[in-house]
A and B are shown apart, each in its own frame.
Chain A
Amino acid sequence: AQTVTQSQPEMSVQEAETVTLSCTYDTSESDYYLFWYKQPPSRQMILVIRQEAYKQQNATENRFSVNFQKAAKSFSLKISDSQLGDAAMYFCAYPNFGNEKLTFGTGTRLTIIP
């Protein structure tokens, strides 16, 4: 079974600085996707970025980028120029092949310090 591990329960960063959130996963599949989701205090889970395992290039969405290390099964999220609105729980997630049900990590609570 797939597992997703987020080893940082909480992180904090000064506004405008850069922060990296860690995620490792376990799978026996060779082709798959990985997601980072953001859950602000308003609760709605929002997709931040996704990575396709067969692509060597790391995904980037504006200030958000990933460092995908397939061999190490590592999928970290880098947030550049942190803003107050980035404060949220961040979840790494792996979709199961076929039904795409998501396995989530336990999350990292990110605090932005003004």
Chain B
Amino acid sequence: DTGVSQDPRHKITKRGQNVTFRCDPISEHNRLYWYRQTLGQGPEFLTYFQNEAQLEKSRLLSDRFSAERPKGSFSTLEIQRTEQGDSAMYLCASSVLTGVHGYTFGSGTRLTVV
């Protein structure tokens, strides 16, 4: 168990560019969650997967955002045509099916759109 890994740790991109983040959850965890955290705020839910199925998306997730979890393993979060408002920390977390024992979070990807 090496924990939840996120890559990259930091990403600086120009407005209008596309970016993709990766999350590798704990291998035996069925559920994978993406959250966004802006400065001074708590994380906000974006989307989650149970195995390879994306079961829920927040309305925070505009059409420019897409997430995948092929084969129920790692997940990617892509943002197209980035805007300055997309600048935030993107956190990934995983859990066993119910999640009532709490999640394991990754260290996050800090996105800065210039």
Query: A residues within 8 Å of B by Cβ?
Result: 4, 33, 35, 37, 42-47, 50, 52, 91, 93, 95, 99-107
* Size class of the contact patch on chain B: 20 to 34
**Out of A42, A45, A50, which one reaches B93, CB within 8 Å?**
A45
Output the least CB separation between A96 and chain B (Å): 8
The verdict on A50 contacting B42 (CB below 8 Å), with A43-B89, A99-B56, A101-B48 known, is no
Q: Compute how far the CA of A52 lies from the CA of B42 in the bound complex, rounded to whole angstroms.
A: 22
Query: B residues within 8 Å of A by Cβ?
Result: 31, 33, 35, 40-45, 48, 55-56, 89, 91, 93, 95, 98-108
Output the least CB separation between B18 and chain A (Å): 24
Question: Can you name 9 A-B residue pairings with CB atoms under 8 Å?
Answer: A33-B100, A43-B108, A45-B105, A47-B102, A93-B42, A95-B100, A100-B99, A104-B44, A107-B40
Is B31 a contact of A100 with CB atoms below 8 Å?
Answer: yes
Main secondary structure of the interface of A (DSSP, over half): strand
The verdict on A44 contacting B56 (CB below 8 Å), with A33-B100, A99-B48, A106-B40 known, is no
Is B108 a contact of A102 with CB atoms below 8 Å?
Answer: no
- Interface-centre pick from A45, A50, A103, A105 (highest chain B CB count, 10 A): A45
Is A101 a contact of B42 with CB atoms below 8 Å?
Answer: no
Residues of A near B45 (CB, < 8 A) are 101-103
**Out of A35, A43, A100, which one reaches B107, CB within 8 Å?**
A43
Residues of A near B48 (CB, < 8 A) are 99, 101
**Out of A33, A46, A99, A105, which one reaches B42, CB within 8 Å?**
A105
Is B55 a contact of A99 with CB atoms below 8 Å?
Answer: yes
Is B103 a contact of A102 with CB atoms below 8 Å?
Answer: yes
The verdict on A104 contacting B42 (CB below 8 Å), with A50-B102, A95-B100 known, is yes
Is A50 a contact of B101 with CB atoms below 8 Å?
Answer: yes
Given contacts A47-B102, A50-B100, A99-B48, 5 further A-B contacts (CB under 8 A): A44-B106, A45-B43, A45-B105, A102-B45, A107-B40
Is A46 a contact of B107 with CB atoms below 8 Å?
Answer: no
